[in-house]
Amino acid sequence: MRPEQHRQADADAKSAGRLKVGFVLARSFTLSAFALFVDTLRLASDEQDRSGRVLADWQVIGSTRHLITASCGVQVAPTSDFVDPSRFDYIVVVGGLLTVENPVDQQTITFLKQADVKKVPLIGVCTGSFILAAAGLMKRHESCVSWLHYKEFRERFPELSVRSDRLFNLDRQRGSCAGGSSSADMAALLVRKYISRDAERNALEVLQIEKARTPSDIQPRRPLYDDYDDARVKAAMITMEQFVDGSMSIQKLAATVGLSRRQLERIFIDKTGMSPAKAYNRVRMERAKSILAQSKAPLIEIALDVGFENASQFTRTFKRTFGQTPSQHRAAASRAH
């Protein structure tokens, strides 16, 4: 047998036990979350950067072969119709913008429920957990979502367990992931578990990722209060974040940290160089800034979320804080992606 035939025989033998992943892409899905997950599989599947489907295989599955548009406008075509879900080791649902009314069709929901019946593990990436939860498929499982989407998940699914402090969560039948770069971390865990540590290392090296993070790692959000070392200032600013709609008065805020209003104001001026009221406004504006960059929610909706009565008042405050209007910031963030 010639050397190339030996290589092919080895590849055929390995392919019989390949890690097989099916991807379901929601309308306006997040491209980066999908790309990082599938590229981790691709690079782990073959040596160096040859992209052979040797140790892993992946398909984008859908009810039609119509192009699916990501939130950034890039379109992806499904590569497979819905087949027997037991052909896959995992089915990964990649979510995106929460403003999309029907992110997947009824045929997709039926397919996901069939996968559940056949004990095929389901993973929600980015806001894919919302899709699984809406289909009734996250009962008795803890969802991990981005801190940006935590409040909305709690409001939509108050009966379900959810956390926003961790990057991802994976048990035997369900997984969930905050999205972004943590998609590569979750994919790396699957590679390590089902292929090998060498395959994981190869994928991460090519992706220029020094080390995969674990389910116990914290989401890399850096709150404003991390800039200050006074425990009372930190406690007050954490409370501000919990009441980002502006409903907490400065008087009550001071009481939560055991101070009078005057004492709190004096400490804030001394430690932060601004009053508690100005710091509170900054916290609310930073939250609005994040929502603007990561969703298509109307300005009035964002304004109400952070405690403004109308969009014009919100726009004036936002521009005064950041030097640009909310619309200008959203446009700039869109171009950057």
Alpha-carbon gap, residue 190 to 162, rounded angstroms: 22
Nearby residues of 66 by Cβ (< 8 Å), 6 or more positions away = 77, 78
pLDDT in tens, 89-123: 999 999 999 989 999 999 999 999 999 999 999 99
CA nearest neighbour of 233 among 182, 287, 278: 278
Question: Which of 7-21, 172-186, 271-285 is predicted least confidently?
Answer: 7-21
Contact 316, 299 (CB under 8 A): no
CA nearest neighbour of 146 among 170, 163, 161, 124: 163
Look at the chain and count its residues: 337
Q: Which CATH number fits domain 224-336: 1.10.10.10, 1.10.10.60, 1.10.760.10, 3.30.450.20?
A: 1.10.10.60
Q: Look at 113 and 167; give whichever has higher pLDDT.
A: 113
Question: Which of 3-17, 23-37, 51-65, 132-146 is predicted least confidently?
Answer: 3-17
- Segments making up each domain of the chain, as ranges: 3-206, 224-336
CATH 3.50.50.60 fits 3-206, yes or no: no
Return phi, psi of residue 316, to 5°. -60, -45
Contact 311, 299 (CB under 8 A): yes
Same fold, 3-206 and 224-336: no
pLDDT of residue 15 exceeding 60: no
pTM: 0.66
Question: Which of 62-66, 86-90, 115-119, 228-232 is predicted least confidently?
Answer: 228-232
